[in-house]
Amino acid sequence: MASKPRVKVPKKATAGEVITIKTLISHEMESGLRKDKKGELIPRKIINKFTAEFNGELVYSVDLHAAVSANPYLEFTVKVNESGTFKFSWVDDDGTIYTDEQSITVG
């Protein structure tokens, strides 16, 4: 189970500015290769996809695999031309989707 994602988006920017967005989600990221005390494989449970949308348009997407560490940290840049809302989504192997939204004012 993951905890609430942490996202850092600047509150303000100028039109055409390239901003840096930082995200972190606390998640155990079980690889599916380890065994429990009974010798049975522990099922894989990782964040396998991350997406970022701005005003409904996809601006960043990444597929994650078992080699990604626990608590995945992602940092990326986006050019903003207007005020709006970013929506971030992390998808877990079991279908759980964790989301967060952050607004930015461009002026």
Query: What is the per-residue pLDDT for 28?
Result: 79
3 state SS for the chain: CCCCCEEECCCEECCCEEEEEEEECCCCCECCCCECCCCCECCCECEEEEEEEECCEEEEEEECCCCCCCCCEEEEEEEECCCEEEEEEEEECCCCEEEEEEEEEEC
Q: How many domains does the chain have?
A: 1
Q: Is 1 inside a domain boundary?
A: no
Quick check: 88 and 101 in contact, CB under 8 A? yes
Confidence at 36, pLDDT banded by 50, 70, 90: very high
Q: Is 50 inside a domain boundary?
A: yes
Q: Which residues pair with 4 in a beta bridge?
A: none
The CATH number assigned to the domain holding 71 equals 2.60.40.10
Q: pLDDT tens-digit profile of 58-101?
A: 999 999 987 777 889 999 999 999 999 999 999 999 899 999 99
Q: Is 62 inside a domain boundary?
A: yes
Structural domain boundaries, residue 88: 6-106
Query: What is the per-residue pLDDT for 16?
Result: 97
